[in-house]
Structure formats: C-alpha cells, structure tokens
Structure 1
C-alpha cells in the first residue's frame, strides 16, 4: 500500500513539473530575431543563449531566422516580421533616411570588418586598383550598400566597377572560379576564402585600413517595439551580451553548441570566430563594455551615410540610435 501511495505521489509530482513547464512556456514572450547572414561563427552566441536557457531566463522564446544581408534585415525588421535583427550600421541609418522606422540599439563589432578579396596575380595592390574590375556580391549585402561611401572615400567613382549578383554562400566559389575579379566579404570570412583559393594566392584589403571607420554589425529594432515593448529589448540585449561574454571567453565550447543546431564544419567556424574576436578588442569595449555606442563615432557614421550614400539626413543623430536598452552594468572584457 505504501509502495502504491509513493508511486502515486511521485507521479503527481512529475505531472506537476510537466504542467509547470508548459505554463512557463506559455508565459514566454515569443519574438523573431533576424540574423544578417547564413550561419557563421559570430552567430554562436545566440545558440549559446538558447542552449543555456538565458533567453528563457529573461522570459523570451526566441525564434532565430537565417539572413540574406543587412538590407534584408532592415526590411524584415521595418515590416514587423522580426522584432530585432543584425545589420551593418550604415544600412539602417540609410533606411531611416528613406523612411524606414528602424533604430540601432547596440553594437556588435567595434571595428569594421568589410573587406575585398582577390587573386594576388590580378595586379590589385591598393583599393583604387578595383576600378574596371568585376565584383561579386549579393545585392542585399552590406558591402554593396556601403560601396558608394567607401568608393568616394578612396577617390573612385562608385560606378567604375561592374557588379555580379550572387547567392550569399557563393562568395568563395565566385572567386575560386574567377567568375569575378573581386569578392566583397567580411575579413572574418577569410578561413572560408582560403579553402577556395590557396592562401599564398589570396589577396585581401580591409576597408578600415583605408579610412572606412563607420560602425559595423549592430542590433536594430523598429520604433513600434521601442514604444510598445521596451522590456523585450532590454531582456534580449542582456541575454545576447551575456552570451557574447561567454563566447569570447569560451570559443571552442560556443562552436560545439552551435554544431548542435546546425550542420557546420567546426574547425572552419572556430577559425572564423577567432578572427571575429579581434574586432572586439578595442579601448572602447575595454573601458565601457561590449555593445557600447560612442556618440561621436555614431555621429561620424551618420555623416558618412549622408555624405557618401546619396541620401539626405533630415533627422537628429539621436533619432537613429539609443543606448537605453544596453545591459547595466555592461559586460567588460580583459584582454
């Protein structure tokens, strides 16, 4: 009799826990998070947050959507298909100037990783040598959107190159097959490019080495979410930057976790992530924490968009970004 009673009590406890779990799941706020691209190493933090339950701790049920470029992210967020997304900072700034109700709420990379790759034997030695060349890049890629700004900074006509539209995953193949003379890709994509083109034949020019100092990858949202659900933004950024803090300290484990969600080459993506980490090692992040938005640098980024990307900036800089949802205290790195 005691055995039956014990089994009944145990069964009741299990059912209670199950129903409690369902209740917790129902209490979570569902949201969509739009990535900027297909899966790469810098997406590992969001799967770390899923695996470790950090989004759930914040009361969020986060659905992660694969991306197609920064311009696509701006469109998805602006039209309400996602609450938060990742985009190169100049792209949502341009979008806002053109009527999109989007705003930057946190920075990811503190240095800009835009880069051009080419065969060394092509004769390209400096960025100006791209004139007259064919460039492969997806139409929604942040590089394509920001090219006019960089072109004008280095003193060349943005129309002096011929663009070939390709799929996001086709960049290494486009260069390897010489479908184009140049491929625009992030410097952090170097491990993938080196698998397609022998390293001794691969040339690369980082835009930031030639004066392009705009802010790079950032988190964006739309005005409606800021007005109606500010706590969602605060909770998401707390979990996201907590996960970045973990990932930057434990890159191998972060990539192993990413591999539980997507079929990836862990060696390649770990190499990719370790390059990503270099773009976090700045005095700003050391002093103010990851995610920090420097008002002066943001103002310079907005000025760059207005000056070089053929749009009229008719709003105050503070209308394009806000720091109010960043974690407090911030996550600081020791390096």
Structure 2
C-alpha cells in the first residue's frame, strides 16, 4: 500500500491509502457533484473502486457536450453525458461507447413562473431561456421546439451558470430555464404555486438521459478495467437505491455547498428516472435496443448528423451484471 495526502471538501488534510497495483482511471462528470453522483462517491469513500484495483479520479464537468467531447477524443477515459448529446458527438467523430444508463428516462424539464403569463410552450415565443451554453437541453432544443410545435428561434438563450438557474428564474431575470427533473422539489420550494413546468416526455420526447460513456479505443484496450468499474458502479447505484443516506453522506463529504434534505429529495426524483421495465427486469443500467434506436432516430430526425452511424455500435450491455436490478 502507498499513502498520499489529499485535501478534503473543507480543506482538511488526510492520509489516503491506495493499492500499489491500482490502475489510474479518470471520470468526467456531466456537471458539478449532485445526488445523481452520490453512488460514485459512496463507492469511493468505501474503497470499492480501490478493492477492484482502480484508482479513480472524479472531476466536475461543464455539460454533457463537453463530457462527450473529452471522452470522444480520449482526453478522459470515462464520462457521464446525456445520450442524445453523446450521439451527436459521435456523429462528429467522437470515439465513444455507452456502457451504463443512469437516467433510463429523459430528465429534461422546462420551468417558468406562471405570473410571467406563460402557461405552456405556445407562450414561449419572445421570452428568454436561461441555461449554460453546454447544457444538453440547449443542444437538443431544436428537437423540443419541433415536437412542441413552436418556432426554434422563438426564445432568446441567456448564458447562466447551473447554480444560478433557480435564483435567476425566481428574480425574473430570465423567463424560462431548462433543468433536470431531479431538482424539481427545490423549484417547488422556491416558487410554490407560481411554478410552471413541462417534462419533455410529455410532448413525446423520452430519449435516454445521463449515461456512462467510455472512449472507444480505451475500452478496446482495457476491457477488464472497464468491467471492474461498471461492476462497482452498478452495485453502488443499487445500494443507494435501497438506502440513500450513506450515499448522500459520502457526496457531502466530497462536495461543498450542498443541502442534505435537498439532495435526498433530488435522489427521490432520480430513482424515478432510473426506473423502467428494462432496469427492473433486465439489469440496473440496462439499455433497451428499441429505445436506443428511438433515441438515435430522434437525434437523426432533428439534427443533420455529420456522419450517420449504426446506434448498435454506440452502446453495450456486456459489462452489466444481470443479477443487479433496479428496486421497484
């Protein structure tokens, strides 16, 4: 064993032991740490990756688009990205393969204040929509606009940081925000009865959401390592689905500025997004080939893919343990 000094979330120094035989591996998150990443931090804090011979480094991200690009060019071995965005990147030459679904249902949701006069998408024209430039919902906006029957250029996008979405909307500095459904309760707490919302699935768009992606070349050369990573991660998500408290504790131990109750509420929504017939009956993280095709068709319909590809080459269920299923 070897030891080195690391700085904790509050800046405190501690000794961390890592097996001399552990192989380094990097994981780029889609955004900053939140409840959907709690299982990863749970596995880290409990030494599960280390036991599997992996020295995992987790880095905060700046959007699914950025994660897909970094993994696609091999700058990062693994990442988390919304699958439609990953497919777009793949059509532009990104070498990546999805190995585990986190959000088996689409998390895309639009929020507004009813007092602004907006009742639904028909009222979006002429309003501002706030989100980061790398936000997956901004990348996929043309698909939503077409499905909802509204002009693609009807809204004006405003760049705001992820953490600023809710306060910016509440202050009226933007009229609409895009966000993931896992943060729904926080918006209810902030805006109460003035909150208006629409999940993209309500207009018939339900592509696969956040998924773990791997650089294709890295995968071909490190299949055993990827298998070990997926095994630990899949088990961690199942453990957290049964009891989220120790996982939220691990998350908050590794990320500052998070509210415990908000993260617990967020996880409740995430559990909804993780639960489908396939994840309950086949395996937690399972990709349904039919829905993979539907996700690809959605992207291919609403975007001009630079180079169409067979979606079967963009994912695999081979690294999932079928004995590990999502709780009902």
SS in 1 for 2:19: helix
Superposition TM-score, scaled by structure 1 size: 0.89
Partner of 2:237: 244
After TM superposition, where is structure 1 displaced by more than 4 Å over at least 4 residues in a row? 21-24
Q: Does 1:31 align with 2:25?
A: yes
Pairing 1:210–2:203 present: yes
- The answer for the alignment partner of 1:70 in structure 2 is 64
2-structure distance, mates of 1:230, 1:129: 49
Q: For residue 136 of structure 1, what is the aligned residue in structure 2?
A: 130
Alignment of 1:168-187 (within 5 A): 168-187=162-181
Per the TM alignment, residue 297 of structure 1 is displaced from its structure 2 partner at its CA by 0.6
Aligned-residue offset at 1:265: 1.1
| Structure-1 residue corresponding to 2:10 | none
Match of 1:3 in 2: none
CA distance in 1, matches of 2:81, 2:2: 39
Q: Shift of the alpha carbon at 1:222? A: 1.4
Q: Separation in 2 of the partners of 1:330 and 1:311?
A: 37
Structure 1 unaligned runs (5+)? 1-16
- Could you tell me which residue of structure 2 aligns to residue 253 of structure 1? 246
How far off its partner does 1:228 sit? Answer: 1.1
1:299 aligned to which of 287, 293, 302: 293
TM-score (normalised: structure 2) = 0.91
1:225 matched residue in structure 2: 218
Whole-Å separation in 2 of the counterparts to 1:33 and 1:233? 11
Partner of 2:275: 281
Per-residue deviation, 1:18:
7.2
- The corresponding residue for 2:11 is none
Q: 1:200 to 1:22 in 2, by over 3 A?
A: closer
Deviation at 1:329, TM superposition (A): 3.1
User: 2:85, 2:323 → 1: CA distance?
Assistant: 26
Structure showing greater Rg? 1
Q: Within 5 A, what are the aligned runs for 1:87-236?
A: 87-195=81-189, 197-236=190-229
CA distance in 2, matches of 1:321, 1:122: 42
What do residues 175-229 of structure 1 show as CA deviations (whole Å, max 9, x unaligned)? 012111100001111233345x321111111111110121111111111112211
Query: Take 1:54 and 1:308, find their aligned partners in 2: how far apart are those partners?
Result: 41
Q: Which residue of 2 aligns with 1:86?
A: 80
- Kept in 2: contact 1:74–1:92 (CA 8 A): yes
The 3-state SS of whatever aligns with 2:177 is: strand
What is the rounded CA distance, in whole Å, between the counterparts of 1:18 and 1:185 in structure 2?
Answer: 42
Quick one: structure 1 residues 278 and 45, their matched pair in 2 at CA, closer, same or farther if it must change by over 3 Å? same
**Gap change, CA 1:137 and 1:26, over 3 Å in 2:** same
Helix, strand or coil at the partner of 1:275: helix
For this pair of structures, how many residues does the alignment match? 316
2: distance between equivalents of 1:310 and 1:22? 48
CA root-mean-square deviation = 1.9
Distance 1:122 1:37 in 2: 29
**Corresponding residue SS for 1:116:** strand
Q: Secondary structure at the match of 1:188?
A: helix
For structure 2, the residue ranges without an aligned partner over 5 or more in a row are: 4-14
Offset of 1:309 from its aligned partner? 2.1
